[in-house]
Amino acid sequence: SYPRAKYCEGTHHVNVRDGEWNLVVWEIPYVYRDKVTEIIIKHNIHGSQPDMSDTSVLYFSDLRAQVVDEDYYEGWALGAERVAYCHSGYRPGDEKIALTGAGAAAGDAASVAGAGVATGDAAAASSAVAGAAAGDAAAVGAGAAAGMPGANKFNIIDVRSGEAAYKGEIQFVEHEGEKFGVMDFSKLRREGQYVIGIGDKATKPFYIAGNPYIPAIWKTINFFYQERCGADIPEVHLPCHLDCFSVHPLDGRKISVAGGWHDAGDLSQGLCNTSESVHAFIDMATRLITNPAAAPAGAGAAATLHSRLLDEARWGLNWMMRTRFGDGFRVTWTTIGIWTKNIVGDTDDLTGQAYNDPFENFCASAAEAAGAGAFGVTDTDFSRYCLKCAVEDFDFAWDVLKNPDKGFTRRATHEVQVYGQGAFAAAMLYKMTGDAAYLDKAAEMADIVMACQQTEYPDWAGTSPVEQNPDSLGHTGIRLKGFFYQNREHKQPMAYDHRSHEQAPIMALARLCEYAPGHKSSGAWRRSVELYGGYIKAIAGLIPPYGLLPSAIYLHGDGGFENVWASFTSRENEVLKDDYNAQVKNGIKLADDYYLRRFPVAFSFRGFHGVLLTKAKAAAVAANLLGDDELKAIATRQLEWVMGKNPFTQSSMFGEGYDFAPQYTEFAYDIVGALPVGFQTFENNDKPFYPMMNSATYKEIWVHSSSRFLWTLAEL
């Protein structure tokens, strides 16, 4: 009997392959099952392309219910059996930390088996090295020539030589009742492939390299290519959705929405995620040129990756510029959710509505301005068209901002987001054109952004002193400033539950400092970024030893609910209020009515990689402006969380690292390079939850998560 049926965790989706037997396993320790009335096994057919069948037959065999030792699915603990580390690897000069449970750290390694930890043979160093290089867990020997470490010790073993490249002592910390062993090997700077040896066990290999994320970048490109809409993608789909349109609400004109990228597992199309993905590709390509250490070895390899990044960016740009009506209205979102026959006029045609939304047009303008710069040398005609669209789209957005009655927005957007994105777009246009009018508008919007910031410690009831009001876990003395509110009224701190744009105000202020260092407001812009950086540093140590950045500050009570969840207040109001307040109070107490949630308050949309990586992007932008290595390290830790240094010891990018889980793709098989919406929380808890169950939204593939991953890397 589930207390909140709408959050029911009771559906498992499997990507079965046609014409062969598929083994399906689902562990259900977290599923309420005291009043089970039926179990349904079914196959949904969501439309079909011309080469697809519109019927299906499923065969079932050997159905079993078993009692098992379930995989770890909720909490922070690692226990004695798992090691958390970044599966992609580490840069030579970066912090390098891996984690394990206290039992394994103490030498109780008999059960160490997770996260690629494998039994080793102390007498077989040569085969151990070969096994590690191949990623063969059964062959990874920890008995290198230098010998394995004793209790409370660890070795970093060079896969090529089989010798210990670094020997360290495990340090112990506690967090929320759990004990962890921390292995710091930051002093090891030599590039190579390594495993971590603990007791008589070793992990699977990882790299120390100038940019260990190069394989993940390539895989991310592959994911976006597979998500292309309207194109023939071998082994995935034929040209698709040629009979799906967006309609101008005032005059009935139509534009095909085919092209660009499918937004997620539901095949939908969205302008905002497209524009920011374009920007991520362009910024990553630029980074390869401005920072050779970020590029793969060899001029040919670097040039190939650079070209491929810009090729994918151009695919997105073409869709953005083709789906404009030329009067401010454009395709901003189209829910699709099915395959169609591509025949206009039959029963499976889909239409959505176009909007004239200032935030969306600012997003487009910034990406188009970036495109103008990226293609300025190689394709001047395309570059000029990008700039033309960027100028027009900015003007459309600015006109609605000054004359709200002219707008036709899809949803309300709070001030710090729309003015932050507007200032960023204006800064990009100032860079591209040198027109001081854009700088003036950027400065005007930046003033509004800065007015949304908490610049002094807030005078909240219960904060003086905070020590008198510890939360249930004993956190005391936490005082924060530098964060942003949604609006200038300072009612609700900026918070996101799903798609996040926390980077917008920081990118605007940082780029203005870079492009207009002599402006009279440049000192204020920099000070605002410094304040935000201070906020990030203040919260970065609250979830040891992972270094995970907490999500946001929330106001407890009806006022907080209405400010954050206004769209929900018309339905199930009281139930959602109760859940909102329960989730808030499970956070870290800051004051009588203010709490810092480790993960967002959320209802149906759960999974938080986008929220986390957007905050990481903002921290990385601030780090570059300020030359702050601490902020850079904080941003890097968030990438490491996604790539294996988490309580589930899983890389969450399919095909990168180890123990990655199947994902909710719905219309394709699992795609190498895909990131899901992300780790979620269970019910009203405030701790990570990532069960075997495969379902939307948290295990659904999403370009927002992938673009944020790439966009953050572009700063590092």
pLDDT tens for residues 533-559?
Answer: 999 999 999 999 999 999 999 999 877
pLDDT tens for residues 679-706?
Answer: 999 989 999 999 998 888 889 998 999 9
- Residue 209: the pLDDT is 95
Angle between helical axes of 436-451 and 522-540 (0-180°, round to 10): 40
The secondary structure of residue 570, as a DSSP letter, is T
pLDDT tens for residues 138-168?
Answer: 334 434 434 456 678 999 999 999 999 999 9
Q: Does pLDDT of 660 surpass 70? A: yes
| Backbone angles phi and psi of 569, in degrees to 5 | -70, -15
Alpha helices in 333-477 (DSSP H): 358-374, 380-402, 415-433, 436-451
Average pLDDT over residues 204-222: 96
Q: Does pLDDT of 476 surpass 60? A: no
Q: Does pLDDT of 233 surpass 60? A: yes
pLDDT tens for residues 88-123?
Answer: 999 999 999 999 997 665 544 333 333 444 433 333
Q: Out of 22-31, 295-304, 569-578, pick the least confident.
A: 569-578
Q: Does pLDDT of 465 surpass 50? A: no
Vertex 351: Cα angle to 347 and 357 (nearest 5): 175
The secondary structure of residue 75, as a DSSP letter, is S
- Residue 477: the pLDDT is 60
- Residue 408: the pLDDT is 84
Query: Among residues 710, 711, 715, which one has the least CA distance to residue 223?
Result: 710
Q: Out of 286-295, 309-318, 423-432, pick the least confident.
A: 286-295
pLDDT tens for residues 261-282?
Answer: 998 888 888 999 999 999 999 9
Identity (one letter) of the amino acid at 154?
A: F
Share of the chain above pLDDT 90, in %: 69
Contacts of 705 (CB under 8 A, 6+ apart): 609, 610, 613, 675, 676, 677, 678
Length of the chain in residues, anyone?
A: 716
Q: Out of 3-12, 63-72, 189-198, 285-294, pick the least confident.
A: 3-12
Q: Does pLDDT of 20 surpass 70? A: yes
Q: Which residue would you say has higher pLDDT here, 362 or 58? A: 362
Identity (one letter) of the amino acid at 523?
A: G
- Other C-beta atoms closer than 10 Å to the C-beta of 50 total 11
- Residue 105: the pLDDT is 52
Average pLDDT over residues 230-257: 94
Q: Does pLDDT of 127 surpass 60? A: no
Full DSSP string of 586-609: TSEE-SSSEEEESS---SSS---H
Q: Does pLDDT of 131 surpass 60? A: no
Q: Does pLDDT of 4 surpass 90? A: no
pLDDT tens for residues 487-507?
Answer: 999 989 999 988 899 999 999
Query: Among residues 716, 676, 714, 709, which one has the least CA distance to residue 216?
Result: 709
Identity (one letter) of the amino acid at 333?
A: W
- Residue 244: the pLDDT is 94
- Residue 183: the pLDDT is 97
Q: Does pLDDT of 440 surpass 60? A: yes
Share the mean pLDDT of the chain: 88
| Reported confidence tier of residue 409, pLDDT bands at 50, 70, 90 | confident
Residues 620 and 631: their CA atoms lie apart, in Å, by 6
- Residue 257: the pLDDT is 95
Query: Among residues 240, 316, 242, which one has the least CA distance to residue 273?
Result: 316
Burial 498-536 (b: 16+ CB within 10 A, else e): bbbbbbbbbbbbbbbbebbeebebbebbbebbbbbbbbb
